[in-house]
Structure 1
């Protein structure tokens, strides 16, 4: 085996192992801590914590990640440029998810800064894969799977990072309710809308999955039934991101690539 093929095999194996690890991470973390991610999240609930159903988005993310991990590990696929460019960043993001799922139930309410730092690292890894995908000339399945997975993952963790910071604040003693909490919630939602809109505006591929995940989370914040100003801000943020995507799609050829990958 040549050095290039050996490196491809190592990378492909790392992606596959990390994709499996993030699926196993949540039940393992619950078993080790004696409590679930949801229980810790409820104990440090902030005004921008989405309704519980929103977290079901991890199902498609995990399934897509595993499907891509298996596909890119096939001998004929390992050397493709798209897999070489996105493999290590996505492996890092998946592994980061697995570690976060272990850490958050254990210390999420006692050392909340640690899972927050981990989540920002996951965002950075997913964003690196996303950026590398934008210039890839491939079409079809070789890019569709990593593009869709990366878009969904980056969109969700973009919102989740804001929620994590808010929850960490509550765990550290910041008020969970009241005027100050509402102001910070609106600022956080505005930040998510600004970042989400900016990425949709510059995206060349997979803007659809990214925007879908962001809007899914924002609407779940609105559905959660918090103060009216927070609900309005969440809905407005979702409308802005959706509108930006609609404008991009309406004025562009190759809409399929922009929307999906």
Structure 2
């Protein structure tokens, strides 16, 4: 088997495995569900439960990518498949490892370590694709499959990583579990998350898909800290402010290259 054959195989096998591994507890009765694990280490940084439905879309896009890059007439020998195949395979593998550990163990720094690897791999795929976008005419696969996949995946994982950090810190005793300390810690985590997200958007010159995933998560955090769970005004205001800034930056950075063409 050649290196290219291995890359192609991993990019179809790993996406197909993701939903099966994610259902270890809920369907196959192995371990505890990720929702149960998350509830035992819940902080104000964790989005409302409905937000995690985005994984259904991410799983579907990942499988569609796997099929597309498998087809000889489409993506198998394409430059896009060669560029994105390995970082996406690393993202899928890391995601699977995180799902296994989250259903067999409790929240902790081992999950954060895996999530950081997923974040690194997903941002690598995102930036590689962003670099390749400029100056090239977008195909249908690029516009409706590849950009949504790498953008939504990197955006969601960017926020999920900091939620994971907050949960691990709570379990380890580094994160206050009540009072003003809880609010301050959650706000600081959100600001750190915002720093990463805004840096990514600045470097990438905007990305509607990345911004959409981040916005989805921030709206769910805002809802969780108002109507969804315990009311926390400080966290809600911070999430709302970050949401506005993220959307504004995504819009402005995306428009700048277009404006430059007419100067």
Instruction: Please say whether Structure 1 and Structure 2 have the same fold, judged by a TM-score greater than 0.5.
Output: yes
CA distance in 2, matches of 1:46, 1:248: 32
What does residue 82 of structure 2 align with?
Answer: 84
Runs of 4+ residues deviating >6 angstroms = none
CA distance in 2, matches of 1:21, 1:90: 14
**Structure-to-structure mapping, 1:104-253, within 5 angstroms:** 104-109=102-107, 112-136=108-132, 137=136, 139-144=138-143, 145-173=145-173, 174-203=175-204, 207-225=207-225, 226-253=231-258
Q: Which moved more, 1:163-172 or 1:27-36?
A: 27-36
Contact 1:155 1:210 in 2 (8 A): yes
Deviation per CA, 1:168-226: give whole Å up to 9, x if none. 11112232222222112111111222221221122257x11100111110111110024
Change (3 A) 1:138 1:82: farther
Name the TM-score, length of structure 1 as normaliser: 0.89
What does residue 10 of structure 1 align with?
Answer: 6
Match of 1:100 among 98, 101, 104: 98
Contact 2:24 2:31 in 1 (8 A): no
CA distance in 1, matches of 2:101, 2:178: 26
CA distance in 1, matches of 2:121, 2:222: 28
Could you tell me how far 1:108 is from its partner in structure 2?
A: 2.3
Match of 2:35 among 4, 18, 38: 38
CA distance in 2, matches of 1:196, 1:172: 26
Contact 1:51 1:221 in 2 (8 A): yes
Unaligned runs of 5+ in 1: 255-261
What does residue 257 of structure 1 align with?
Answer: none
How many residues align structurally? 248
Unaligned runs of 5+ in 2: 226-230
- Secondary structure at the aligned position of 1:251 is classed as helix
- Secondary structure at the aligned position of 1:175 is classed as coil
Could you tell me how far 1:141 is from its partner in structure 2?
A: 2.9
Contact 1:82 1:138 in 2 (8 A): no
Could you tell me how far 1:18 is from its partner in structure 2?
A: 1.0
| Superposition CA RMSD, Å | 1.9
CA distance in 2, matches of 1:175, 1:163: 14
